[in-house]
Amino acid sequence: MQDQIDNRPNPDALLEVVQKEEGEKNRGSLKIFLGMCPGVGKTYAMLQAAQVELNNGKDVVIGYVETHGRKETELLTRGILIIPRKIVQYRDIFLEEMDLDAILERKPQLVIVDELAHTNAPGMRHLKRYQDVLEILEAGIDVYTTLNVQHIESRTDMISHITGAPIYEKVPDSIVDIAEIELVDLSPEDLLKRLAEGKVYIPDQARAAALNFFREGNLRALREIVLRLAAEKAGKDVQEYMQIMHIQGPWKISHRLLVAISASPFSETLIKWTRRNAESLKCPWYAVYVETSRVLAEEDQQRLSKNIELAKHLGAEIITTADEDIVRGILRVARQWNITQIVFGKPRGRGLVEWFKSRSLLHRLVRESGEIDIHIVGEEEKERETKKQKILPIPESSFSQYGLTCLVIFAITLFCLWVNQWIGSRSIGMIYLLGIVILALFVGRGPVLVAALLSAIIWDFCFLSPKFSFGIQGIENGFVVFSYFVVALVLGQFITRLRAQEKAERRREARISALYMLSQELSQAAGLDEIVIKVVEQLSHFFQAEVAVFLINPFDNKLSGLPHWASTLKVTEKEASVAAWAFEHGKAAGRFTENLPLSKAYYVPLSTHKGSVGVLGISLPGIQSLSFDQKSLIQAFANQIALVIDRQRLAELAEHARVVAESERLSRTLLNSISHEMKTPIAVITTAIESLNKEDLSSEKRAMIIDEIRSATLRLNRIVRNLLDMARIESGRFKLKKEWADIHDLFNLSLKETQKELAGRQLKVDIQPGIPLIKIDFSLMLEALNNLLLNAALHTPPSSPIELSASVKKNSLVIRVADRGPGIDPEILNRIFEKFYRGTGAPPGGTGLGLSIVKGVVDAHGGKVLVQNRPEGGAVFSIVIPLESVPEVHPMPTEEPVKK
C-alpha cells in the first residue's frame, strides 16, 4: 500500500498539466516553424504545411506572409485566400500590417502569420504581432507562424553577445511553451551557398551580411542553440505526457542527473562531481534536499545553505521536498523529473551509527531505484584529511533534558519503592513505561533512550528477584526485562518522532500561511505604494524585523539610492551601497552572506525573468545566522513580491502606452480637423480680399464678398472659441459667472446667432408659460445651445425641421433640441460627447468639440445632458439644469415728509 502511495504522480504537477490542457481546449493551436536565422526556409516550409492542410479540406487563409519576391515561395500561396492588409499612415509613410479584425470576422480554421516577432506600426491595436496571434488563438483559430531563435527572449542576450548585433524584437518564452515546434534546419555551408546565390539578400546586402552576422562561426553557434532549444521543448513535452499517463519512468531519451545533498561537508564533493559530469554529457542536472522533521544544528544549517548556494551557482536546479524517508523522497523527485542518473555519497565509515545509516540508505536506494542508474561517489583523500572527523553524531538534545530525564526516573523509583508493598513488580514496570511515554512528549530521542535503559536497569535491580542484584532469575524474567526495554524504547522513540513531525508540520504551515497572507494582501493592493506598504507590514509582523524596500527608477531602470518611504529600516549610505551591489549582481548580499557580510541587514534582489525590479532588505536583531528554512522563506517572499511589483509596473506601462496612443490619436484628429476647419474660412477670406482689390466690382458684388468675409470670420471665431472653451474645461479653470436670466432672451439670442446656418428650415419654438428666471452663466449656456443647434443643422437634411423647447419638470429646467434627421447609431450613443469624436457618417467639417463643450458647460452648472433617438425618426438632445429659487424683491419703504 505504501509503495502505491509513493508511486502516485505529484498532484501539483499533474494539476498544472491538466489546467494547461483545459485552457487549450477552447483555444486555437499554435505551430511555430523555428529556424536559426533568416534564409533557412521557414516561410517555405510553413506554406508547404498550409497547402497540405488546404488539400485536407481545412479552411486556410493568409493573414500575413512576406515572400521577399521569391517565386518558389509565391507559388505556394496560390489557392489560399489572402486577407487584404491594413494600410496605416505613420509620419507621412504608408505601412502595411495584418488586418486582425478582418481575420476575426472571417473566422477561418487556420491562419498563416509570418514573422511572429514583428513590431506593429503605431496606431495598431497591439504593439507586437505575437499579441495579435494570441488574440487569434483565443478566438479558437489555429495559427502557423515563423520565428528565428534570436528573437526568443531568454536567448537574445546570449545571441547578441555571440553575433555582436543588437536584437530589438523579442517574443516571450511563454509563447514558445504553448506552441508546437517544427524545426527548419539547414547546415551553415548550405546557408552560405544560398546567401552567395542571392536567395537570401540582394548581392550587396549578401556580401555585408556574410562579413557580419552570417559568419560561419556565428551560424554554427546559432544552429547549436536552436537544436538545444528544440530538444528542451521536446523534453518538457515528454515529461508532461509521463505525468498525465502516470508513467513512472525514467524514459532514457536524454541524460538527466540528480544529486542528493544535505548538511554534510561531503555534499560539496558530490555537487562538483555532478557538475563536471553534466557538463561532459551536455545535460541538465538537479540538486535535491529532502527535509525531515530533524532540527539541524546552527553549524549544519550554515553548511546546508552553503551547499545549496554552491549547487545553484554551478547551474543546478534546486528541488526541496519534505519526507521522513530520505530514500523515498529522492526517488519520488527522480521519477517526477524523469531523472536517469542519481549521484549518492559512498559510506565513509566515520562512526558506527553513521556508517550503518548511510549503508542502509544506499542499499535501499539501489534496490528501489528500478531503471534509474546510481553513481556512488567517494570523498577525495585531500578533503578527507582536512575535514573534521566525527566519531558520533552531535546530540540533538540539550544536557538539561538529560538531567530532567534522570530526575524523573529517580522520582518514579522513589514512588515505586513506596507502593511496592501493595502492587507487584509487573505493575511497577507499567509505571516506568508510563513515565517514559510522558517524558517523550517533552524531551528528545537521546533522553528517551537513556530513560528506557536506566528504567530497565533500576526495575531489574530494585524490584525483580533477586532484588538489589543485577542478576535475572529465570528465563521468564529475562524475557520480561528485554521486552520492557524494547517496548519502552520503541514507544518513546515513536512518540518523540511524532512530536518532531508535528513541529515540522507547524513550521511548514507557518511558512505557507505567511505566503498565503502576503499573496492575499498583495492581490488587494492598488498601486505600487500600497504594495510596498503591505510588504513591509507582513514581513515586519512575521519576522519581527525591520524592512526596507528599494525600487528601480522607471526612467533609467537603475536602483534608487533611497528606500521607499514606507520602509521601517533606517538605511545609511553604506547599507544603500550593499543593496546596490545585490541589485547589480543579482545575488543576496549583506549579513548572513559571504558578500559584504559586515552589513547590518540581509539584502535580496527582487528578481523576475526580465531582471531585477528592486531589492528587499531585512534586519533580524538577535539572530546570529539564518537557517536554510529562513533563507528559503525570505527568497519565496522576494519572488512573490517581485512578481507583483513587475505586474504593477507592466500595468502602469500598459496604461502609459494606452494614454500615449490615445494622445497621439487625439492629436492627429485635432490637427486634421482643425487644419481642415481653419483652411476653409481662411481660404474664403483670402480669396475675398483679393477680389475686393478689383476695380470693376459692383456695389452688390462688393457687399456679397464682405458678407462672405463676415461669415468666414464668424466661423473661424467659433472654432477658436470652442478650442479655448475646451482648454478651460480640461484645465479645471472653468469658473462660472452666474446671473439671473430669462429663457426667452437665451433662445432669441441663440436663434439670431445661428440664423444663417438654420436658414431655410422650419423652426418650432415652444416655451412653457410661467418658467421662472434661471441662474446661469449666460455666455457659456448660449455657446452650449448654439452648438446643439449647429449640430442639428449639420447632421440633418437642409429642409428638415428643428424643434426648440423649454419646460419645467421636477424642479428642473429642461431644454430640448429635436430634429427629424436619420438619428444616431445606437452603438455610438455612449460616445457622442467624447472629445474629437465624430460619427462614421458625419459630413466633412467640424472638430468634434461642440458636444463635448455642451457636456462640460452643463456639468459645470450641476446639470446633465442626454441624447436619445425619437421613435418617429431623428434625435433629441436634452439639457437638464436644476432651478434655483428666485429671491423676492421687496419695494423700498417710502419716507414720510419731514414736518417743519
Per-residue pLDDT, averaged over 637-664, amounts to 78
Q: Does 794 or 289 have the greater pLDDT score?
A: 289
Q: Which run of H or of E encompasses 772?
A: none
Whether residue 201 has pLDDT greater than 60: no
Report the length, in residues, of the chain.
Answer: 900
Q: Is the peptide bond before 882 cis (omega within 30 degrees of 0)?
A: no
If 0-12 CB within 10 Å is exposed, 13-18 middle and 19+ buried, where does residue 716 land?
middle
CB 308 within 8 A of CB 297: no
DSSP letter assigned to residue 705:
H
Cell of 161: 553577445
The SS3 call for residue 692 is helix
Contact indicator for 534, 525 with CB cutoff of 8 Å: yes
Mean pLDDT of the chain: 78
Give the pLDDT band (50/70/90) at residue 147.
Answer: very high
CB atoms within 10 A of CB 122: 15
The reported pLDDT for the residue numbered 287 is: 92
Say what the pTM is: 0.47
Of the candidates 806, 812, 814, the residue with the CA atom closest to the CA atom of residue 747? 806
pLDDT tens digits along 625-636: 777 778 888 888
Count of C-beta atoms within a 10 Å radius of residue 442 = 14
Nearest Cα neighbor of 140 from 99, 113, 109 is 109
User: What pLDDT is recorded for position 382?
Assistant: 46
Higher pLDDT residue, 54 or 476? Answer: 54
pLDDT band (50, 70, 90) for residue 352 = very low
Q: Is 464 left (phi over 0), alpha (psi -120 to 50) or beta?
A: beta
Which of the residue ranges 101-110, 429-438, 473-482, 587-596 has the most confident prediction, judged by mean pLDDT? 101-110
pLDDT at 53: 92
Half-sphere exposure at residue 861, Cβ-oriented, CA atoms within 13 angstroms = 29
State residue 894's pLDDT score: 46
pLDDT of residue 896: 47
Domains and CATH numbers, the chain: 12-244 (3.40.50.300), 257-384 (3.40.50.620), 399-501 (no CATH), 527-638 (3.30.450.40), 732-882 (3.30.565.10)
- pLDDT at 403 exceeding the cut of 90: no
CA distance 395 to 393: 6
Higher pLDDT, 90 or 29: 29
pLDDT (0 to 100) of residue 325:
83
Which of these ranges, 153-157, 349-353, 655-659, 690-694, has the smallest mean pLDDT? 349-353
pLDDT-based confidence at 18, cuts 50/70/90? low
Q: Tell me how far CA of residue 405 lies from CA of 377, 451, 503, in angstroms.
A: 41, 6, 21
SS3 track for 432-466:
HHHHHHHHCCCCCHHHHHHHHHHHHHHHHHHHCCC
